[in-house]
Amino acid sequence: MTRPVWISVTPELPVADVREAQRWYSEVLGWKVGWVSEDESYAALYVETLELFLRRTAVLRPGFVTCIRVSDVESVFAACCEAGAKITAELETRPWQMREFSVEDPDGNLLRIGQSTLVE
């Protein structure tokens, strides 16, 4: 039996308003709007090969964490700062071999954005 090849994972973040969340991810992080369900309860964003789903939720439970790797964390950090995003952890090199920072979206979802410090 052949083992399957895992290709990607797509987080689904809880948000109060999918259109507003799409706007924030687009303006702050540069992600593109993918689609929105007819009742505007579900939506998607994408950038390069990454995809993110948004689901409208009546009761938000802040604290959902998504870790995202990028090729140039310095420029992503600068863009977030320029956009006035809520930085919850400053950009620094961490013991787990990542240079990363954390930013919180308006719905309380935490994004840890980083770049590996390992030389490949």
Question: What digits encode the pLDDT tens for the residues 29-61?
Answer: 999 999 999 999 999 999 999 999 999 999 888
Residue 106 has pLDDT above 60, yes or no: yes
Is 64 buried (19+), middle (13-18) or exposed (0-12) by CB count in 10 A? middle
Q: What is the pLDDT of residue 35?
A: 96
Give CATH superfamily name and number for 12-116: 2,3-Dihydroxybiphenyl 1,2-Dioxygenase, domain 1 (3.10.180.10)
Checking if the pLDDT of 120 tops 60, the result is no
pLDDT reported for residue 113: 97
> Dihedral of CA 25/40/56/42: which sign?
negative
How many Å apart are CA 38 and CA 60, to the nearest integer?
22
Chain-centroid distance, C-alpha 118:
22
Beta-bridge partners for 55? 14, 42
Name the phi and psi angles at 61, rounded to 5.
-125, 85
Query: Could you tell me the pTM of the whole model?
Result: 0.89
